[in-house]
Amino acid sequence: MVNEKMNIRNYIGGEFLDPLSGQWLDNYNPATGEVYSQIPDSDALDVELAVLAAQKAFPAWSALSEEKRSEYLMKIANTIDAQLETLSLAESMDNGKPVSLAKVMDIPRARDNFSFFATAILHESSTSYKTGNEAINYTYKSPIGLAGCISPWNLPLYLFTWKIAPALAAGNCVIAKPSEITPMTAYMLSEICAEIGLPAGVLNIVHGLGPKVGSAIVTHPNIPAISFTGGTKTGAEIARVAAPMFKKLSLELGGKNPNVIFADCDFEKMLKTTVSSSFTNQGEICLCGSRIFVERPLYEKFKIAFVEKVKALKAGDPLEDGVRVGALVSKGHMEKVLSYIKLAQEEGGSILTGGNQIHPDGRCTNGYFIEPTVIEGLSHTCRTNQEEIFGPVVTIMPFDTDNQALDMANSTLYGLSAKIWTENLTRAHKFAHQLQIGIIWINCWLLRDLRTPFGGMKQSGVGREGGFEALDFFTEKKNICIKL
């Protein structure tokens, strides 16, 4: 049992509340394997409180001018920025990622999510059409009402705020559920909202398990929009339940992303970026490239250089300088990733480097660490290359022709992101157009413009997030026709 002051609490109606059930869940530091806080084991009753608070707040919040809503969101953004060090340390402790990564990616992006949508709503416009001399039609956008936002554990505050910020900016009130595995920075966000004076009930954060809290949000008749990021299986269940209720759905789901490397690429730039796109955040980013296809003339050179670079990656205590690979998020997830490494060997794969659990010296000896792992010798159709592993594991395979590479890249049920490495502009365009994938980087990775749409094809999701696509999702469009 941890000290009471370490308890995370729900944020409902502007107040910090214990779960109505009186039940709590342990929250682990994955780098040490130890419990360091507790979170509410909330249920449908807590969600109902949040819905009532949001309904009460909605009329006033939606009636605020865009300028006033923008001011609140900018205050949140500025406070996140002021607390960069504290939030980064909390994200590292909760998730296992290197604190250095949280400082340059997770927390700055959470800040930018609020500042982007705070300013975006000041530049929205509507369309109008003159119908001869008879009428003018114009489009009017209104907030949808209450939005349910459910986010994953891999980029906790980054993805949590990417949903919340556009929903609030558009004039909605939010019932949000962070992952029960990584709740700390969501709790700190609620403290920031209280500090800057966000009106009570505008943002409500309910902690707990998916089958209890997530399900209650998805099935609640007064929450008409659901934005979810997570596993494909859970997304399918949400769609099954919510579709008959005619809810708006945005589902950002799994990925099994290809990295296609042609022999004419800028080798050094490609190599450096491919190491990052394979193992950043322990490979626990939906955009990481886990299937690496290399044109045969370059294959042996790439294999030798890539394995050398991967072996040099420093894995261990996320708080140490120079650590590139931290702890996996939980013991259960670590065991899942290790089971796929075993499966890869059973399917005929050869481990070129890695493949084992790590036990760092010192405080992290009982943490959830796996060596960065590179595997070759597998068919592109085997389970290892078809199923999402979501860890520090990549496979490498040669290809001979563009069409073969295209078939291999498109062979999975997923279609989230891809990387293409070539100096041939015509080939790059043609190949990108033929990929059944929603986000494609050519000679780069994770270069994001927040104005662009984000989302995948096939079982990687439904809908698009980011930019004005997100604002559109959280609004209803009305056509108003005026007779001249």
Q: Phi and psi of 55, rounded to 5°?
A: -60, -40
For the record, the structure tokens of 226 come out as 């659901």
b/e per residue, 228-239, with b = 16+ CB within 10 A? bbbebebbebbb
* Nearest one of 161, 178, 173 to 222, comparing CA atoms: 173
Residue type, position 197, single letter: G
Helices and strands (H and E) in the chain: how many: 16, 24
Q: With H, G, I as helix, E, B as strand and everything else as coil, classify residue 80.
A: helix
Kindly give the pairing relationship between strand 146-150 and strand 225-229.
parallel
Establish how many alpha carbons lie within 13 A of residue 18's alpha carbon, considering only the half-sphere containing its beta carbon: 9
Half-sphere exposure of 209 (CA within 13 A, CB side): 8
Q: Residue 430 in 3-state DSSP? A: helix
Which two three-digit tokens encode residue 193? 């909202």
Q: CA 280, CA 101: separation in Å to the nearest integer?
A: 8
Tokens 């992006």 belong to which residue? 109
Q: Which of these is catalytic: 149, 265, 286, 288?
A: 286
Specify whether the CB–CB gap between 427 and 403 falls below 8 A.
Answer: no
Residue 155, CA distances (Å) to 34, 296, 378 in order: 21, 35, 30
Measured distance CA(78)–CA(377) in Å, rounded = 50
Describe the chain by its helix, strand, coil percentages, rounded to 5.
45, 25, 35
Considering the candidates 91, 180, 252, 295, report the single residue annotated as catalytic. Answer: 252
* d(C-alpha 174, C-alpha 474), whole Å: 11
Number of neighbours of residue 31 by Cβ within 10 angstroms: 27
Residue 66 annotated among the catalytic residues of the structure: no
Q: Which amino acid is at 279?
A: F
- Say if CB 42 and CB 208 are below 8 A apart: yes
The C-alpha atoms of residue 220 and residue 174 are separated, in whole angstroms, by 13
Torsion of CA 168, 219, 228, 471, to 10 degrees: -30
CA angle 121–193–224, rounded 5-degree value: 60
Whether 173 sits among the annotated catalytic residues: the reply is no
Size of the chain in residues: 484
Give the residue numbers marked as catalytic.
252, 286
